[in-house]
Amino acid sequence: MKAISIQKYGDPSGMKVIDAPEPVAAPGQLLIAVEAIGVGGVDAVIRRGTIGSIGFPEGLVPGSEVAGRVIAAGDPADKGWIGRTVWAFTGLGGGYAEQAVAGLDDVTPLPEGLSPVDAVTIGSSGPVAHFGLAHAHFAQGESVLVRGAAGSIGILAVQMAALGGAREIAVTTSSPERGQRLRELGATVVLDRAGYVEQTDRDGHDSAREGHDSARDGREAVRDGQDSARNGHEAARGAQESERFGSEGSRAADGFDVIVDLVGGDGMPVFLERLADNGRMVSLGVVGGYPPADFGSALLRSFRRSLSYGTLSLDTVPVEARNRIRERNLAAAARGELRAVVHDVLPLPEASDAHRRMDAGEVFGRIVLTV
């Protein structure tokens, strides 16, 4: 069978099409004739070699999320699975191939009317977004910020917050065009990556500039404000006040009950300061790198505001709960209640092109490979 193998970690050109032996379903596994493969952020992280030190071998077939038809079931798996179309998690590799295997715990049947392409856009990201919001104790009527909203997890977090009755849904993204697409999915306020209200949301250019500059002053005061917790806190509030120029910006600046963070990086502590009293931030990913080691001091400096920070990895969610939510997400997508945002569909041999486009930051949603 055809598969993609990482012959050399680093640039996407290190991925090659190879002839690989067909996998065999081990006891309790299903063998799937793959139709669609989700190209995830984690595939790019593995391929770049940045986590190569934890032992990915050369020749790895990447890819963890596929959909297709079951063609064999390893004893004691029920042979009734054969012929069914399923979504499957293949582990940290094995997905970029014409055939893949997955354990019974990692397989969900596709509901009527949902395509394999749409399934691999939602199957993994949906539960991550769901449990991220749940971990943050998101409740109806609250305001939510999704930081790094243009990826497949962020897009689903925006939609789920809207379906869950969020009062306001702010997003960070890198362009007004992407912001407009996020609005169509439920966002009500668009911020740039640094957290400023997009110029297009402002009443006027001058006031936007002024807001930018004084907000930056405020942030610097927050950063340098070690001398006194009070100073830092007031500067953060000052930064928020100074952003109250645009009609939507004023609401965004009031503080968020929940922040779902996919970015991390140097800018992360500034967003902690933008939580409302009793606000909760949950990190689901660090596409912008790790935050500064002392980011927690922002929480302690604001002790009297009762802010909370946590992380959520889907790996820690019990498998039954994960599968129940995935089934629910796929059914919602089949009914059109959740939208699968597919950036592009490419044939499997063009996997390196898919990765190049991810590295260039042009993907909105998810690229899907098809067999």
Ligand X SMILES: NC(=O)c1ccc[n+]([C@@H]2O[C@H](COP(=O)([O-])OP(=O)(O)OC[C@H]3O[C@@H](n4cnc5c(N)ncnc54)[C@H](OP(=O)(O)O)[C@@H]3O)[C@@H](O)[C@H]2O)c1
Point out which residues bind ligand X (CB under 6 A).
Answer: 40-42, 45, 128, 148, 150-154, 173-174, 178, 193, 262-263, 265, 284-288, 312-314, 361
Q: What is the DSSP letter of 322?
A: H
- CA-CA distance, 63 to 97, in Å (whole number)? 9
Give the ranges where the chain is alpha helix by DSSP (H): 41-48, 116-122, 125-135, 152-163, 176-184, 205-224, 229-242, 247-252, 268-272, 297-301, 319-334, 351-359
90, exposed or middle or buried, with CB in 10 Å at 0-12, 13-18, 19+? buried
Q: Examine residue 76 and say whether the peptide bond preceding it is cis (omega within 30 degrees of 0).
A: yes
Please, which residues bridge with residue 19 across strands?
2
CB of 45 to ligand X, least distance (A): 6
Q: How many CB atoms lie within 10 A of CB 139?
A: 12
Instruction: Answer positive or negative: Cα dihedral of 94, 98, 104, 105.
Output: positive
- Closest contact distance (angstroms) between CB of 56 and ligand X is 15
Pair type for strands 366-370 and 29-39: antiparallel
Strand partners, 169: 144
User: Hey, which residues does 8 pair with through a beta bridge?
Assistant: none
Query: In this complex, which beta carbon is closest to ligand X, that of residue 235 or of residue 354?
Result: 354
Nearer to ligand X, 249 or 264 (CB): 264
CB of residue 247 to ligand X, shortest distance in Å: 23
Shortest Å distance, C-beta 112 to ligand X: 27
User: What residues have CB less than 8 Å from 185, skipping those under 6 apart?
Assistant: 155, 158, 159, 162, 339, 341
Residue (152 or 302) nearer to ligand X, CB: 152
CB of 74 to ligand X, least distance (A): 27
Smaller CB distance to ligand X: residue 193 or 305? 193
Least gap, CB of 231 to ligand X (angstroms)? 28
Closest CB to ligand X among residues 193, 237: 193
Nearer to ligand X, 116 or 148 (CB): 148
Query: Which residue's CB is nearer to ligand X, number 77 or number 158?
Result: 158
Return the closest-CA partner of residue 282 out of 152, 128, 156.
128
Report the sign of the C-alpha dihedral through residues 129, 130, 135, 138, in that order: positive
Least distance in angstroms from the C-beta of 271 to ligand X: 11
Q: Nearer to ligand X by C-beta: 233 or 366?
A: 366
Minimum distance, C-beta of residue 218 to ligand X, in the bound complex (Å): 20
DSSP letter for 53, please. G
Query: Residue 166 or residue 263: which is nearer to ligand X going by CB?
Result: 263
Contact 101, 29 (CB under 8 A): yes
Could you say which DSSP state residue 194 is in? T
Q: How far is the CB of 148 from ligand X (least distance, A)?
A: 3
